[in-house]
């Protein structure tokens, strides 16, 4: 199957120090991995598309190093203009006129957790789509998608072309090999300037959440613990 995987550069939310380190969105990494698994015995190519600043080139190369074939970069330096609506329109403008069996996105991004681009993009491209996929299987003329719903898992059969948003519960993305890393460094990334003009919201600033007040650890015998807890609930929390 010919895949196009939409990827994003996001702050490293796992970092305990505010270093400003940027990484490949974990949900998008799972989407790249699933495309690679499905195409493991195929010569069909996997394309990548990223909307973001010029500095996101290294994030693109990380996904290329995993095994994707080609990459496209729509450069937009002003991130405050890139809400979900604007990104979906930029991606739709790029994808219209191009032929893919399956377009994959992460179900959400680690920075905003909005989870809106996939559904908006499917609507703009008039494609059948499934969200929060935790498994995919290629079929003749279609794609079987296992998705996680609110009360259980569902199995859907989508005709191709289609669009699927992927959960990071789908797989464990591979660590790029040295050969993959060297190959990614040599791959030419097709670049063009993206012009957002459809944003409905604007980001004024991005900042980490305030640190939580440390918890209190009580010690003593069970009876003493209960007494301490009751005292704090009455005198400090005021809930009793």
Give Dmax (Cα) for the chain: 72
Q: Is residue 15 scored above 80 in pLDDT?
A: no
| pLDDT tens readout for residues 179-210 | 999 999 999 999 999 888 778 888 787 777 78
222, two tokens: 């069970």
Task: Find out whether 120 and 84 touch, Cβ atoms under 8 Å.
Answer: yes
**Alpha-carbon distance values, 135 to 20, 61, 131 (Å):** 32, 25, 11
pLDDT of the residue at 196: 83
Q: pLDDT higher for 196 or 56?
A: 56
pLDDT tier, 216 (very low <50, low <70, confident <90, very high otherwise): confident
CA distance linking residue 165 with residue 129, whole number of Å: 8
List phi, psi (to 5°) of 111: -85, -50
pLDDT of the residue at 16: 58
| pLDDT tens readout for residues 57-112 | 999 999 999 999 999 999 999 887 789 999 999 999 999 989 999 999 999 999 88
Q: Is residue 17 scored above 60 in pLDDT?
A: no
Q: Which residues lie across from 157 on neighbouring strands?
A: 144
The SS3 call for residue 214 is: coil
pLDDT of the residue at 19: 65
Average pLDDT, the chain: 92
Q: What is the domain partition of the chain in residue ranges?
A: 3-193, 212-240
| pLDDT tens readout for residues 136-168 | 999 998 999 999 998 899 999 999 999 999 999
pLDDT of the residue at 27: 97
CATH of domain 3-193: 3.40.50.620
| pLDDT tens readout for residues 21-54 | 899 999 999 999 999 999 999 999 999 999 999 9
| pTM score over 0.75 | yes
């Amino acid at each position: 199957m010919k895949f196009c995987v939409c990827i994003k550069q996001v702050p490293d939310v796992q970092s305990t120090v505010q270093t400003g380190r940027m990484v490949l969105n974990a949900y998008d990494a799972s989407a790249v991995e699933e495309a690679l698994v499905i195409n493991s015995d195929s010569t069909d190519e996997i394309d990548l598309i990223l909307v973001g600043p010029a500095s996101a080139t290294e994030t693109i190369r990380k996904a290329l190093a995993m095994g994707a074939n080609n990459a496209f970069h729509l450069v937009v330096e002003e991130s405050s203009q890139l809400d979900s609506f604007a990104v979906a329109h930029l991606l739709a403008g790029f994808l219209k006129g191009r032929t893919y069996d399956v377009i994959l996105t992460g179900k959400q991004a680690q920075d905003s957790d909005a989870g809106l681009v996939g559904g908006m993009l499917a609507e703009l491209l008039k494609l059948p789509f499934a969200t929060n996929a935790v498994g995919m299987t290629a079929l003749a003329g279609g794609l079987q998608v296992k998705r996680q719903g609110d009360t259980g898992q569902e199995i859907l059969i989508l005709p191709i072309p289609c669009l699927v948003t992927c959960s990071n519960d789908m797989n464990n993305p591979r660590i790029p090999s040295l050969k993959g890393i060297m190959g990614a460094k040599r791959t030419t990334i097709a670049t063009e300037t993206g012009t957002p003009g459809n944003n409905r919201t604007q980001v004024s600033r991005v900042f980490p959440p305030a640190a939580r007040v440390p918890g209190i650890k009580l010690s003593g015998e069970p009876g003493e613990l209960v007494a301490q807890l009751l005292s704090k609930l009455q005198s400090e929390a005021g809930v009793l």
